[in-house]
Structure 1
């Protein structure tokens, strides 16, 4: 019976982008709670070191899910510093202001990040290489969970465990990843040593960051459909970024809002991947919004950001290289210089 329902729902679903918006949004976090049971999820969380207080915090985040909700990505504080160095450099050196509800996942302008849709990614690499089994493909993809408790029974694939334990799944040398960016701007890469040292003086507690992604393409769509943006920029996946079926992500979101999903008669992909590219997902003028959560006192974060920004503001750089890089970004983002 379960197999029949899976075939019926998925084969009869229209393989077109977007979900027509009607009624209340049933988010993946609380749909999973309905499906699995709060007690069962809580028991597993406690076994993996997540306190009841932290669970309440996660519930409050899940309650914010609405039309356009995408998913969650957990990471360590090193990734936060990486993101902030990129952001503050773009703002202070390149003189491009970035809206509050946006964070860079990779360095914008990286020439390896020019595949602007999932179809372009598949065409470039081939159907058999839709995964993260190369350094370049890993850079081109970001792993995400649908809901905040997705994969709660699998520690290495659940965003909140990575967040709570201040760990990423793989060890990353963020200074090394940022070095080419600084070189392109004529900045001495030794500055990265100082910047990460500044960060360590403020970020000394256990606990990483949790990124909550959403998109608002439905606000600009004549048919008022959600997830048109996500359908072109992401795909359902399993471990190592391998593709999970051929359906669009909007079909998975549509499925998880049904009673069939709540009653465990159909399944959705265990996770999904978001394509990293300069034109769309690394573009602060795009439909994408990113909210970041942590367990720090907001005053400490303000002091940390002030110190990091102040250092970057006083860095020496090559004016000609900066001007050229700035224009390259504006061209990629199709942005009018007068906007800034």
Structure 2
């Protein structure tokens, strides 16, 4: 054991400058991601701000029992899973397909221009993008509805319709993250040995065959890992997106766990109850990651560990 420790420490010392670069990230995650775990105790206490976490009375699983007894919570939970599933079904393949298409572009200038334009929305906040979406989808002045009226269709209040709101969330999420999501897949594509494509071309393979039998298999490890992460986010949601786009008219289909927690914790000051909601969500997410990783390892050799 002692020799193993010295061997491991020797490796860190050998690459001491790289280790120094790693330390700030480790400190950041420790302070802002591990130390706050102490606050999970609030979910099992009747938290009073004046008493502090340790001084507040212990109530055990009372908040979880109250949580599971609320019909409104299960409605919010269904909304979260449904919206996340739609994003997984339509949003996850989008950057993969986009990366494959970008890889086939031979004009370097055009390729870089498309990449830059597609990356740009990622760097804008949902406050800005939400405002743009509201204007574009406005039933009176929005370009989308103006075009629909010109084609003979009736205008639709997309952000005020329970039938369309979830679709708006999915489409705007793809719009924002499509370009950024392709970075990982393009990196995987650039790692493919060019000689494989040359040999396939000599054997008569066209672009579609090379994409299917060379490029996609080379992307399989990255796709598997990203899919595991995506499955783990099924019970998570984008608070900034939903908060800037939803309204009272679409609460029935648009209210999700993060907005529900926000109202319970910050608006109604039910800190213990909102912590219980967050802890329940994180436990489900952790279980989904474990399950997805186990299934990935069962069907292929790729996974997180």
TM-score for the superposition, normalised by structure 2? 0.27
Higher strand residue share: 1
Q: Which has the larger radius of gyration?
A: 2
Higher relative contact order by CA 8 Å / sep ≥ 6: 1 or 2?
A: 1
TM-score for the superposition, normalised by structure 1? 0.25
